[in-house]
């Protein structure tokens, strides 16, 4: 049995590692600037921290986790640019694979092996899970720890469950929303086994205290990052500064995109079960009440938060897929062959095709212009033997994961950071600067006076005409496709402008 599970895990791990090299695109700045970039500064001693790391909003526990391979690479002098870019993603992929493994064990234990096989098919073909699973996002870590926690709770292993959930909380405090619907189940287990309650409290508070010591040490003062995070984002509601969507956005747009056709099966499951059980659905213990409770509560709470992002829904996609699989598995069990052949099979084929197309486009093309451009600049620096290169990144704030993609301690890299106007923990008058507010020509004159003319300038295509006017003696030496969907200062292409005296 152990050997079979080991082979199964190895297959999952292989899939996750392959996705590291399949995905060539970026998703959001946080996948670098809240993880690898912080780890890079910790290990190599140079880099940049975003304003959240100056005000105690983020815990250092996840960057320290990602720093483990960096310390190894530094010690053995293996810290090439490629390894710096790949190592944290491989490490996160390993955690994702562990979460995958326990997710399928949870599905099999709670719903049976037949359903688990269908769940596995849906899970590994879902484009968004494949797209995010190998990315260094706190949301990816949150999803994986949730899956491990579901299995541990299902097996009543409360000690390990408490340890995993405490880690999840300190890394991503909003993860608690996922577990609120299961609080009665946890409390029931403590009531049955009261001797475990104090031990679990000790485990949980130990994690909180150790995290407090780590963060206080890194910030240089007593800092409770999980409280600062909750206060800033939810009590003060300042996350709205990063953009807002209407209340219904998750249900009307987001989940349809992320889950594809499975979302509509989920809606059908809600309709069927609530029609059968009515308002007593949860008290009577409907067949999927646990998954339904998690999803509905999670979406409801997050819908009240003005700032919304696709990745915030990542943790509940596995639960939606369980519900979809249960409905389709039910149709198979009752022998509705004509219905299956006429509707279910074409539906599954279209859903799989949708996932394949969206994953292919999002992982190979959409937002894929940054890495080729930084790769070209790095190669050009080596080929031309530029000892102290000066690089300008004239792009919206944090568009480029600067130090993990260049990894050159001799390079001077100037880029836009857009810090808040009021940079203090109270942030009573917080107002974020925006790239569009910057006088680019004034910025160029100021930086030229300080450092001289750059060796390379990297920017999106909307700035091409302006840059050619400012620097007529430079040439466009590289161009890479970035996206079909332009917005603001983000163009279809990433351009690199080079000095001609190197030719």
State the CB neighbour count (10 A cutoff) for residue 264.
Answer: 14
Q: Dihedral sign, CA of 15, 16, 18, 22?
A: positive
User: 243: pLDDT confidence band, cut at 50, 70 and 90?
Assistant: confident
DSSP 188-248: HHHHH-THHHHHHHHHHHHHHHHHHHHHHHHHTS---HHHHHHIIIIIS-GGGGG----TT
Higher pLDDT, 327 or 365: 365
Least confident of 28-37, 233-242, 303-312, 388-397: 233-242
Least confident of 204-208, 281-285, 412-416: 281-285
- Helix 36-44 vs helix 61-75: angle between axes, to the nearest 10 degrees? 50
Each residue of 47-106: pLDDT tens digit? 999 988 988 999 999 999 999 999 999 999 999 999 999 999 999 999 999 999 999 999
Q: What CA–CA distance (Å, rounded) separates 394 from 373? A: 13
Q: What CA–CA distance (Å, rounded) separates 208 from 206? A: 5
pLDDT, position 443: 85
105: enclosing H helix or E strand: helix 81-111
- Residue 37 burial (CB < 10 Å; 0-12/13-18/19+)? buried
State the CB neighbour count (10 A cutoff) for residue 487.
Answer: 8
Higher pLDDT, 331 or 127: 127
60: enclosing H helix or E strand: none
Check residue 341 and report its DSSP letter.
I
List b or e across 228-249, with b for residues whose CB sees 16 or more CB atoms inside 10 angstroms: bbbbbbbeeebbeeeeebeeee
pLDDT reading at 140 higher than 80: yes
CA 13 to chain CA mean position, Å = 18
What is residue 335's three-state secondary structure?
coil
Find the mean pLDDT for residues 213-226. 95
> Which residues lie across from 457 on neighbouring strands?
392, 497
pLDDT reading at 430 higher than 60: no
pLDDT reading at 215 higher than 60: yes
Dihedral of the alpha carbons of 418, 424, 428, 433, in degrees to the nearest 10: -10
Helix H segments across 45-80?
61-75
State the CB neighbour count (10 A cutoff) for residue 303.
Answer: 17
Residue 53: CA atoms inside 13 Å, Cβ hemisphere, count?
Answer: 20
* Average pLDDT value for the chain: 90
pLDDT reading at 407 higher than 50: yes
Residue 460: CA atoms inside 13 Å, Cβ hemisphere, count?
Answer: 20
Find the mean pLDDT for residues 218-226. 95
What is residue 458's three-state secondary structure?
strand
Domain ranges in the chain are 2-364, 370-502
Residues 6+ apart with CB under 8 A from 322: 107, 111, 115, 119, 288, 291
Find the mean pLDDT for residues 317-332. 89
Strand order in the sheet with 390-394: 412-415, 390-394, 456-460, 493-499, 474-481
List b or e across 321-343, with b for residues whose CB sees 16 or more CB atoms inside 10 angstroms: bbbbbbbbbeeeeeeeeeebeee
pLDDT, position 234: 87
pLDDT, position 221: 94
Each residue of 353-394: pLDDT tens digit? 999 999 999 999 999 999 999 999 999 999 999 999 999 999
Q: What CA–CA distance (Å, rounded) separates 358 from 353? A: 9
Find the mean pLDDT for residues 28-54. 95
Find the mean pLDDT for residues 121-125. 94
Candidates 214, 188, 171, 221; CA nearest to 42 is 214
Higher pLDDT, 398 or 284: 398
User: 427: pLDDT confidence band, cut at 50, 70 and 90?
Assistant: very low
Q: What CA–CA distance (Å, rounded) separates 294 from 384? A: 56
User: 425: pLDDT confidence band, cut at 50, 70 and 90?
Assistant: very low
Find the mean pLDDT for residues 275-290. 69
Given a contact cutoff of 8 angstroms between Cβ atoms, the answer to whether 474 and 502 are in contact is no
Residues in the chain: 503
State the CB neighbour count (10 A cutoff) for residue 10.
Answer: 11
Longest dimension (CA), the chain: 78
pLDDT, position 141: 97
pLDDT reading at 429 higher than 80: no
pLDDT reading at 437 higher than 90: no
pLDDT, position 501: 73
pLDDT, position 236: 84
Check residue 99 and report its DSSP letter.
H
- Angle formed at CA 329 by CA 324 and CA 333, multiple of 5 degrees: 155
Helix H segments across 260-396?
261-277, 281-284, 289-303, 317-333, 337-339, 345-364, 370-383
Q: What CA–CA distance (Å, rounded) separates 391 from 10? A: 42
pLDDT, position 327: 85
Given a contact cutoff of 8 angstroms between Cβ atoms, the answer to whether 136 and 88 are in contact is yes
């Amino acid at each position: 049995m152990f050997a079979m599970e080991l082979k199964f895990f190895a297959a999952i791990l292989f899939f996750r590692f392959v996705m590291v090299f399949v995905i060539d695109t970026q998703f959001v700045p946080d996948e670098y600037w809240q993880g690898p970039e912080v780890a890079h500064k910790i290990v190599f001693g140079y880099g940049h921290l975003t304003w959240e790391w100056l005000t105690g909003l983020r815990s250092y526990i996840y960057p320290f986790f990602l720093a483990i391979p960096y310390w190894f690479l530094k010690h053995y002098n293996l810290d090439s640019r490629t390894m710096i870019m790949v190592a944290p993603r491989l490490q996160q992929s390993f955690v994702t694979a562990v979460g995958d493994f326990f997710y399928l064990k949870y599905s099999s234990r709670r719903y049976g092996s037949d359903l688990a096989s269908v769940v596995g098919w849906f899970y590994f073909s879902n484009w968004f899970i494949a797209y995010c699973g190998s990315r260094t996002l706190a949301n990816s870590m949150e999803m994986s720890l949730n899956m491990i926690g579901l299995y541990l709770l299902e097996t009543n292993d409360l000690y390990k469950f408490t340890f995993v959930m405490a880690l999840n909380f300190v890394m991503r405090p909003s993860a608690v929303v996922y577990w609120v619907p299961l609080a009665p189940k946890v409390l029931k287990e403590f009531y049955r086994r009261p001797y475990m309650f104090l031990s679990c409290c000790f485990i949980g508070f130990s994690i909180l205290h150790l995290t407090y010591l780590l963060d206080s040490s890194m910030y240089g003062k007593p800092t409770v990052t999980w409280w600062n995070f909750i206060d800033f984002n939810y009590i003060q509601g300042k996350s709205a500064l990063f953009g807002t969507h209407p209340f219904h956005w998750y249900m009307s747009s987001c989940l349809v995109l992320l889950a594809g056709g499975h979302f509509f099966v989920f809606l059908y499951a809600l309709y069927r079960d609530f029609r059968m059980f009515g308002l007593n659905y949860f008290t009577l213990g409907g067949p999927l009440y646990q998954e339904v409770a998690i999803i509905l509560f999670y979406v409801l709470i997050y819908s009240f938060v003005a700032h919304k992002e696709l990745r915030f829904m990542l943790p509940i996609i596995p639960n939606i897929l369980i519900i979809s699989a249960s409905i389709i598995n039910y149709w198979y069990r009752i022998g509705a062959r004509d219905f299956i052949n006429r509707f279910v099979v074409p539906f599954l084929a279209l859903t799989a095709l949708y996932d394949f197309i969206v994953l292919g486009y999002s992982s190979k093309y959409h937002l894929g212009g940054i890495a080729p451009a930084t790769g070209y600049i790095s190669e050009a620096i080596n080929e031309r033997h530029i000892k102290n290169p000066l690089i300008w990144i004239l792009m919206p704030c944090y568009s480029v994961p600067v130090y993990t993609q260049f990894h050159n301690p001799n390079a001077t890299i100037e880029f836009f950071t857009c810090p808040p106007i009021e940079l203090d923990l109270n942030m009573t008058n917080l107002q974020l600067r925006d790239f569009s507010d910057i006088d680019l020509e004034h910025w160029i004159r100021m930086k030229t006076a300080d450092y001289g003319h750059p060796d390379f300038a990297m920017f999106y295509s909307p700035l091409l005409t302006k840059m050619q006017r400012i620097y007529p003696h430079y040439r466009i030496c590289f161009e890479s496709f970035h996206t079909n969907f332009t917005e603001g200062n983000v163009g279809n292409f990433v351009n690199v402008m080079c000095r001609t005296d190197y030719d």
